[in-house]
Chain A
Amino acid sequence: MKSKTAKITFLGLATACALVLSYVESLLPPIWSAVPGVKVGLPNIVIIYLLYKVSFKSAAAVSFVRIIAVSMLFGNVMIMSYSIAGAVLSLGVMAILKKTKAFSTVGVSIAGAVAHNLGQIIVAMVVMQTKEIGYYMIVLCVTGVLAGIVIGIAGGMLLKYTEKIKL
């Protein structure tokens, strides 16, 4: 990134993009109504892109600004605590797996998706004071893998086709 201004502008655009993807996703009907929280996680395409193309710090910043904005626009503080727990775990796991260089964007995004679900389940267990809700994690592992594959492929394609664009 050439200048600080360019970086701020670019990350602002990325945040807007992630916000729009959150909104688009909220318009889609629930994939599986019996299990709450099953979704593809479209904004994660932006996060994967930033993680690979810019830096971990940028990905984390955009992720948190998106969560705060989405919570204020469409949700509440409760939703925010779930999202932040998911995002912290997900970003951490994705950054570590990316550093190992052993995985493609698909592997990184799968681990991120499952970690995101795990974070939310942990918050749910704390908030609801029930450990039984942990059983949902079994289902969320499988749906997390599927969501991760979709986002990983999409993120990989985005990176491949924007390879020549210098930031």
Chain B
Amino acid sequence: MNKTDFLKKHRNDLLLIGGILAVALIAFAVFVLTMKKGDMVTVSVNGVEKFSYSLNENIKTVITTGDNGERSNVLVIQNGEAYVESADCPDKICVGHRSISKVGETIVCLPHKVVVAVVDGN
């Protein structure tokens, strides 16, 4: 297949790819430009806000969840950033997540239904 055939056959495909990527890029630009540093971290379990901590302190705390508190995620706040140091969830995605510090950033632990979110305290 030569180049013009390829373009003819896949013109709409390429437009679709371009369209989706453009939407993602615009959303990303809006997201980055409107991001500001937060000063509070809230921890929600099952959609209910359970705790909140200041980002300006250095804290290490264990978030226990489950009916008998058998599940845990260790949340660390250090130098204005929050991250999950360790957890006993099966996928460890929350542990692998980078530190968060900007308003709207979240670390989500799906198995434990825990959401750590940075918010504007004011």
A33-B92, A34-B98, A130-B47 are known; give 11 further A-B pairs, CB within 8 A.
A34-B96, A34-B97, A36-B91, A104-B9, A104-B12, A110-B13, A127-B113, A128-B47, A130-B44, A133-B108, A135-B104
By a CB distance below 8 angstroms, the chain B residues around A33 are 92-93, 96
Stretch at the interface among B14-22, B50-58, B65-73: B14-22
Contact B44 A36 (CB under 8 A): no
Total cross-chain contacts (CB, 8 A): 80
Complex Cα spacing A111 to B104, Å? 28
Q: Is B115 an interface residue (CB 8 A)?
A: yes
Complex Cα spacing A111 to B19, Å? 11
Chain A residues 73-127 with CB under 8 Å of chain B are 102-104, 106-107, 110-111, 114, 124, 127
Q: Is A3 an interface residue (CB 8 A)?
A: no
Complex Cα spacing A36 to B13, Å? 26
By a CB distance below 8 angstroms, the chain B residues around A144 are 20
Q: Is B7 an interface residue (CB 8 A)?
A: no
With A129-B47, A130-B106, A132-B117 already in contact, the answer to whether A145 and B20 are too (CB < 8 A) is yes
Residue of A with least CB distance to B110:
A36
Q: Which of under 10, 10 to 19, 20 to 34, or 35 or more describes the interface residues of A? A: 20 to 34
Instruction: List 27 A-B residue pairs with CB atoms under 8 Å apart, sorted by A's residue number.
Output: A33-B92, A34-B93, A34-B96, A102-B12, A103-B12, A103-B13, A106-B10, A106-B13, A107-B12, A110-B20, A128-B44, A128-B113, A132-B104, A132-B105, A132-B117, A133-B106, A133-B108, A135-B106, A137-B27, A138-B27, A138-B28, A138-B31, A141-B21, A141-B23, A141-B27, A142-B24, A145-B17
Complex Cα spacing A152 to B111, Å? 31
Complex Cα spacing A61 to B62, Å? 45
